[in-house]
Amino acid sequence: MVRIIAFANQKGGVAKTTTTVSIAAALGERGLRVLAIDLDPQGALTYSLGIDPDALDETINDVLIRRLPMQKVIQAREVDLVPANIDLAGAEAVLLAKTGREYALERALREVLPMYDYVLIDCPPSLGILTINGLTAAQEVVIPLLAEALSHRAVGQLIETLGDIRHFTNPDLEVIGLVATMFDGRTRHAREVLADIGSRYGVPLLEPPVRKSIRFAEATQVGRSIVSFAPSHPGAEAYRELATVIEKASP
């Protein structure tokens, strides 16, 4: 059975896209069929997999707004990708005027689900209608975050939003856990924040934390995941371990 996992945090700069693409690649290198969906108008996931968002004629925007079949926009890269670009920025206003707007992505996904073992959704850094679409379509959520004080507020807001999603559109949505990114274990502050967030919100903290490294930016620059760009790097190994944890967390 296919698993649909949303990667969400309304706070920007938490390596959400890096986590999405790295987990996708780690699952893909095991022979699993993986589809990654870029729901962010900035197109960061699209760029991270080696595609120029500005050069695309058809994207997830056309799937959500024009109801173009999703299969027509899928691009084959390290994993299959449904790309996005700045055109998606206008989708928020259009979707708000549509009946069943929260279910646009869930409807579009139905036709391609038999093709995959995993669908990973990279949600935008907001709690708008695009993120709500991602969370409504998903079965599970992974929350990437930084080990810093401001993460408390962001995680708290997201947990509240997940409660609303369960109440209104997706009662079976589950949180797999938190992933600490750009982690600096040398600081007591970082260690204390992680311990506090996990216990405060009753959400599992997935191990291991992913340490900060310039290699992630280098991988993005050449349009590859850290898993294929630097396969023996500690960051690649960390994401492989996290992919294993996520696999074992199957509901």
Map out the domains of the chain as residue ranges.
Answer: 3-248
- CATH homologous superfamily of 3-248 equals P-loop containing nucleotide triphosphate hydrolases (3.40.50.300)
Cβ neighbors of 243 (< 8 A, separation 6 or more) are: 23, 26, 27, 30
Reported as a single tens digit per residue, the pLDDT across 143-163 is: 999 877 667 778 888 999 999
Fill in the amino acid letter for 16: K
- Does the pTM exceed 0.75? yes
* Percent residues over pLDDT 70 in the chain: 97
Looking at per-residue pLDDT, the higher value among 45 and 157 belongs to 45
Fill in the amino acid letter for 44: A
Reported as a single tens digit per residue, the pLDDT across 8-40 is: 998 888 999 999 999 999 999 999 999 999 999
Average pLDDT, the chain: 93
Q: What is residue 251's predicted lDDT score, i.e. its pLDDT? A: 64
Q: For residue 235, how far is the Cα from the chain centroid?
A: 17
Q: How far is CA 25 from CA 133, 156, 165, 191, 216, in A?
A: 23, 29, 28, 28, 13
